[in-house]
C-alpha cells in the first residue's frame, strides 16, 4: 500500500495556509479532527459488524512537523484499547479504504463512491466526512507525500476539493421515523418485531426519499420453494428501488432478482441463486470458463448446508 497510517502520513500544505512554514493552531485542529472523524466513519462503514471494535483505536496523533510549506504528520495512536477484535487487521481495512478514498480524491472521481458504497446509509456517512476532510484546507493545495533521502518530498496523492454539487448528488435524504408529505416512491429501512403471541409488526426506522435509492441486502439464509440454503456468512448484495421496480444485484455471482415488490425481488433472486447453484454443480469444470469456475467455488464455499 502507498499509505500506512501505522507509520504515519505527511500532508504537504501549500498556499496561503502554509506559506510561512507554519500552521495556525485552529487550522491544525480542524484538519486533525476531520481526518480522525473520517477514519472512524470508515471503521463503522467497512468493518464487519460482527467483529467487536473500539473506535478509540482509530484515533490519530501528531507525530511530526516539517518545514516545506507546512507538513504535519499524523499516525494511528499507539494507545491501543483492549478489544476482542483483531486491531491490526481492522486498521489494515481502514487504511486500505482511506487510501482508496485519497486516490478517488486525487482524480476527482467522487462519483465512484456510489459503487464503493451502494447502500445510502453508509454512503451518506462516508461522503459527509470525506467532504469535511478534503475541504479542511480552503483553497491551499495539499498532497499526501513521502520523504525520501535528503528530505526529498515525493507526492503520493493530491487531495482535491469535494465539490458541493457532487456531494449533493451522492447523498440521499433520510427521514427518520417521519412521514412524506406528498405521495412519492420511497424505500424504508424496516425492523420486524414479533411478540410472544407470534404477531409480527413492521417499524419504519429510516425512510429514503429518492426515486432511485440503493440499499444493502445481505441474507444469510436463502429460501426457494421448499429448499433452504444456509450460508456461512451474509451474501452482501445491493437493493435498488428504481421507478416501479425493486432490483437485487450480487455483482460477484452476477445474479439479479427483480420484482414489483421487495418480496418479489427476493423470490426472483432466490430462484436465480438456486438455478446457478444446481446448474454449475451439474457441469464438469472442463466445460466452465475461468470466471464460472470461480463462481462455482464461491457458491460451494458460502453454502453451509441445504435443508
Q: Which of 250, 241, 248 is nearest to 265 (CA)?
A: 248
Q: pLDDT per residue over 210-237, tens digit each?
A: 544 556 788 889 999 888 999 988 888 8
**Residue-by-residue DSSP string for the chain:** ----TTT-EEEEE-HHHHTTS---HHHHHHHHHHHHHHHHHHHHHHS-TTS---GGGG-EEEEEEETTTBEEEEEE-S-PPP-SS-HHHHHHHHHHHHHHHHHHHHTT-GGGHHHH--SHHHHHHHHHHHHHHHTTTTT--EEEEEE-GGG-EEEEEE-----HHHHHHHPPPEEET---SS----EEEEEEEE-TTS-EEEEEEEEE--SEEEEEE--SEEEETTEEEEESS---EEEEEETTEEEEEETTTTEEEEESSHHHHHHHHHHHHHHHHHHHHHS-GGGS-HHHHHHHHHHHHHEEEE-
pLDDT band at 242 (very low <50, low <70, confident <90, very high): low
pLDDT at 233: 84
**Residue-by-residue DSSP string for 218-230:** --SEEEETTEEEE
For the chain, the residue count is: 307
pLDDT at 211: 47
pLDDT at 100: 96
Q: How far apart are the first and last CA of the chain?
A: 43
Rounded to an integer, the average pLDDT of 97-114 is 93
pTM: 0.59
pLDDT band at 49 (very low <50, low <70, confident <90, very high): low
Q: How crowded is the C-beta side of 279, counted as CA atoms within 13 Å? A: 9
Q: Is a pLDDT exceeding 70 seen at residue 89?
A: yes
Q: pLDDT per residue over 244-266, tens digit each?
A: 678 888 888 888 888 888 888 89
Q: pLDDT per residue over 30-39, tens digit each?
A: 999 999 999 9
Q: pLDDT per residue over 140-196, tens digit each?
A: 999 999 877 666 788 899 999 898 988 988 887 655 554 545 545 455 555 555 555
Most confident of 76-90, 116-130, 146-160: 116-130
Percentage of residues in the chain with pLDDT exceeding 90?
A: 36
Rounded to an integer, the average pLDDT of 45-59 is 82
- Mean pLDDT (the chain) is 83
Amino acid at each position: 500500500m502507498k499509505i500506512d497510517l501505522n507509520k504515519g502520513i505527511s500532508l504537504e500544505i501549500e498556499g496561503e495556509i502554509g506559506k510561512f512554514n507554519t500552521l495556525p493552531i485552529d487550522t491544525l485542529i480542524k484538519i486533525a479532527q476531520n481526518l480522525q472523524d473520517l477514519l472512524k466513519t470508515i471503521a463503522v462503514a467497512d468493518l464487519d459488524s460482527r467483529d467487536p471494535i473500539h473506535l478509540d483505536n482509530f484515533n490519530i496523533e501528531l507525530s511530526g512537523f516539517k518545514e516545506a510549506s507546512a507538513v504535519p504528520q499524523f499516525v494511528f495512536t499507539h494507545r491501543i484499547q483492549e478489544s476482542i477484535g483483531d486491531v491490526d487487521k481492522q486498521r489494515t481495512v481502514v487504511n486500505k479504504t482511506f487510501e482508496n478514498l485519497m486516490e478517488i480524491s486525487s482524480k476527482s472521481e467522487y462519483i465512484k463512491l456510489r459503487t464503493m458504497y451502494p447502500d445510502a446509509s453508509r454512503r451518506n456517512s462516508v461522503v459527509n466526512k470525506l467532504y469535511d476532510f478534503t475541504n479542511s484546507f480552503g483553497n491551499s493545495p495539499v498532497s499526501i507525500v513521502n520523504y525520501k533521502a535528503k528530505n526529498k518530498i515525493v507526492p503520493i496523492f493530491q487531495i482535491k476539493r469535494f465539490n458541493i454539487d457532487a456531494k449533493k448528488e451522492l447523498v440521499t435524504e433520510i427521514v427518520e421515523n417521519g412521514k412524506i408529505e406528498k405521495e412519492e416512491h420511497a424505500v424504508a429501512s424496516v425492523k420486524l418485531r414479533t411478540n410472544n403471541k407470534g404477531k409480527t409488526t413492521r417499524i419504519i426506522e429510516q425512510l429514503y426519499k429518492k426515486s432511485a435509492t440503493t440499499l444493502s441486502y445481505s441474507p444469510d439464509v436463502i429460501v426457494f420453494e421448499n429448499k433452504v440454503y444456509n450460508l456461512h456468512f451474509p451474501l452482501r448484495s445491493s437493493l435498488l428501488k428504481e421507478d416501479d421496480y425493486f432490483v437485487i444485484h450480487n455483482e460477484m455471482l452476477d445474479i439479479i432478482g427483480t420484482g414489483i415488490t421487495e418480496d418479489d425481488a427476493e423470490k426472483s433472486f432466490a430462484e436465480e441463486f438456486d438455478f446457478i447453484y444446481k446448474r454449475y454443480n451439474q457441469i464438469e469444470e472442463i466445460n466452465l470458463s475461468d470466471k464460472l469456475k470461480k463462481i462455482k467455488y464461491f457458491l460451494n464455499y458460502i453454502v453451509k448446508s441445504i435443508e
